[in-house]
Amino acid sequence: MLLAYIVQFFLKKTKRLKLIEIVQLLREVTNVEMDLRFEAAAANELKENTKKDVGFKVPKIYWNQTSKKVLCLDKIDGISIREIENLKSLNIDTKKIAQNIIQHFLRHAVRDGFFHADMHQGNLFISKNGDIIPVDFGIMGRLDKNNRKYLAEILYGFIKRDYKKVAEIHFIAGLVPKETSKEDFAQALRSIGEPIFGQSAKNISGGKLLAQLFEVTEKFNMETQIQLLLLQKTMVVVEGVSRKLDPDTNIWNVSRPILENWLKEVKDPVNKVNEFVNETSEILKKLPNFPVMMDRANDIMTLIAEGKFNPNNLSYRNLREEELKLELIRNKILGGVLVLVIFVLLVLK
């Protein structure tokens, strides 16, 4: 955290990378990993979400035997995904497994907004009938509904090579500063997408796309999206695992049906009506409390105007306290360096 603060303080260009917020995210993830009840809850949620997904089996959690320091789940009867020759000896189609890993990951991300964010080779096993069995649920990723839709639209836009659409989604999502030229941004996206699609399937890489997108973010002064970091990292890892199983995996062709199906569901008129009904129902439930809410809002606005109320949430306050501590440490370090320099100058004299 101190290093992140020092870098961000002295190199103003790095402010858009939100280094302090990233370290804060890592701290929160680590705290969750230290309590195995949270990991059990994550595994249980993933199991519920994926119980109808053919070819993906999450181990059952045994709550009576699970505690803060003990995680009890089904024993895995499978082969590590890194043992490719063993998988082939059992006539397991490794090419199909490579496609399934990518598709399951994307399905969980865009459909459920909840995905396994640590899908490296050590955490994936294959059963004798070809099911993918994940373990280690300490790091999980979440995306809200809007981010899921933006993500699907952006990836699908790249697949369709519709760079104007991809640029438009970036602006709608607030990922790009408003003063940026939409045409210039679309041109920059085209400079990324076209070279990738011009290559053979073996060289078409989501990892390369993300790396080049990262370069574009600097040019257009785009801020790091903390909520997408785990997804970006996992996407690169999942692609790497798939390539080990099948070097010719075309990540775009494999991804396309998942993104198409989900976007069709989102835009389906019946689903839109259901969503509208649900939202209207929630609003109607709150109508009886509306006068009280208005009174409270009026009171809060009065306190804000008088400077007696701090609207910052708890998470922000904690982060601000952390920054103040870092400022104090930085000042002490700078003071110590200054004293050391003075001392050296005196000695040299």
Full DSSP string of 211-270: HHHHHHHHHTTPPP-HHHHHHHHHHHHHHHHHHHH-TT--HHHHHHHHHHHHHHHHH-HH
Amino acid (1-letter code) at residue 138: G
Q: Are 76 and 59 in contact (CB under 8 A)?
A: yes
Q: Which of the pair, 149 or 285, is modelled with greater confidence?
A: 149
Rounded to whole angstroms, the Cα distance separating 18 from 24 reads 10
Q: Which of the pair, 50 or 260, is modelled with greater confidence?
A: 50
pLDDT category of residue 155 using cuts at 50, 70 and 90: confident
Active site residue 118: yes
Q: What is the mean pLDDT of residues 242-246?
A: 91
- The count of structural domains within the chain is 2
Q: Which of 218, 238, 266 is the last residue of a domain?
A: 266
Return the percentage of the chain with pLDDT > 70, whole number: 69
pLDDT category of residue 137 using cuts at 50, 70 and 90: very high
Q: What are phi and psi of 296, to 5 degrees?
A: -65, -40
Best-predicted range by mean pLDDT among 131-135, 138-142, 333-337? Answer: 131-135
Examine the domain organization and report whether 139 and 88 are in the same domain. Answer: yes
Is the torsion defined by CA of 94, 100, 102, 104 positive or negative?
A: negative
Examine the domain organization and report whether 162 and 292 are in the same domain. Answer: no
Examine the domain organization and report whether 122 and 202 are in the same domain. Answer: yes
Give the active site residue among 112, 118, 136, 246. Answer: 118
Q: Which of 244, 266, 288 is the last residue of a domain?
A: 266
Q: Which of the pair, 205 or 5, is modelled with greater confidence?
A: 5
Examine the domain organization and report whether 114 and 183 are in the same domain. Answer: yes
Examine the domain organization and report whether 94 and 230 are in the same domain. Answer: yes
Cβ neighbours for 265, distance < 8 A, ≥ 6 positions apart? 271
Please check the confidence at residue 263 and state whether its pLDDT lies above 80: yes
Give the pLDDT confidence score for residue 250 in this predicted structure.
79
Examine the domain organization and report whether 248 and 285 are in the same domain. Answer: no
pLDDT category of residue 72 using cuts at 50, 70 and 90: very high
Examine the domain organization and report whether 188 and 288 are in the same domain. Answer: no
Give the pLDDT confidence score for residue 308 in this predicted structure.
55
Q: Which of the pair, 219 or 68, is modelled with greater confidence?
A: 68
* Vertex 309: Cα angle to 305 and 314 (nearest 5): 140
Please check the confidence at residue 274 and state whether its pLDDT lies above 60: no
Rounded to whole angstroms, the Cα distance separating 103 from 127 reads 18
Please check the confidence at residue 276 and state whether its pLDDT lies above 70: no
Residue 21 lies in a domain: no
pLDDT category of residue 270 using cuts at 50, 70 and 90: very low
Chain centroid, CA 324 distance in Å: 28
Q: What is the mean pLDDT of residues 267-295?
A: 54
Examine the domain organization and report whether 241 and 294 are in the same domain. Answer: no
Q: What average pLDDT does the structure give for the chain? A: 80
Q: What are phi and psi of 144, to 5 degrees?
A: -75, 175
Rounded to whole angstroms, the Cα distance separating 339 from 323 reads 24
Rounded to whole angstroms, the Cα distance separating 294 from 277 reads 24
Residue 221: give the domain boundaries. 35-266
Please check the confidence at residue 74 and state whether its pLDDT lies above 80: yes
Angstrom CA distances, 253 to 17, 42, 152, 239, 314, stand at 31, 30, 14, 13, 44
Rounded to whole angstroms, the Cα distance separating 158 from 165 reads 9
Examine the domain organization and report whether 169 and 281 are in the same domain. Answer: no
Examine the domain organization and report whether 212 and 278 are in the same domain. Answer: no
Please check the confidence at residue 327 and state whether its pLDDT lies above 80: no
Is the torsion defined by CA of 197, 199, 200, 202 positive or negative?
A: negative
Give the pLDDT confidence score for residue 273 in this predicted structure.
47
pLDDT category of residue 193 using cuts at 50, 70 and 90: confident
Please check the confidence at residue 265 and state whether its pLDDT lies above 70: yes
Q: Which of the pair, 261 or 230, is modelled with greater confidence?
A: 261
Q: Which of the pair, 275 or 295, is modelled with greater confidence?
A: 295
Residue 343 lies in a domain: no
What does pTM read for this prediction? 0.68
